[in-house]
Amino acid sequence: MSSADDLIPVVVQDVRNNNVLMVAYTNDEALELTRKTGYMHYWSRSRQQVWKKGETSGNVQKVVELLKDCDEDALLARVEQTGVACHNGTYSCFLDKPIGPNDIIAELFRVFEDRKQTQRENSYTYKLLRNRNLLLKKVAEESSEVIIAAKDKRRDEVICEAADLIYHLLVLLYDEGITIQDIYKELEERRK
End-to-end CA distance of the chain: 50
Structural domains in the chain?
A: 4-81 (3.10.20.810), 103-191 (1.10.287.1080)
What is the reported pLDDT for 160? 94
**How confident is the prediction for the chain on average, in pLDDT?**
88
Strands 20-26 and 8-14, how do they pair?
antiparallel
| pTM higher than the cut 0.95 | no
Residue 182 — very low, low, confident or very high, per pLDDT cuts 50/70/90?
confident
- Spell 107-120 as b/e; 16+ CB within 10 A means b: ebbbebeebbeeee
pLDDT bin (cut points 50, 70, 90) of residue 85 is confident
Q: Identify the bridge partners of residue 78 per DSSP, sorted by sequence position.
A: 13, 65
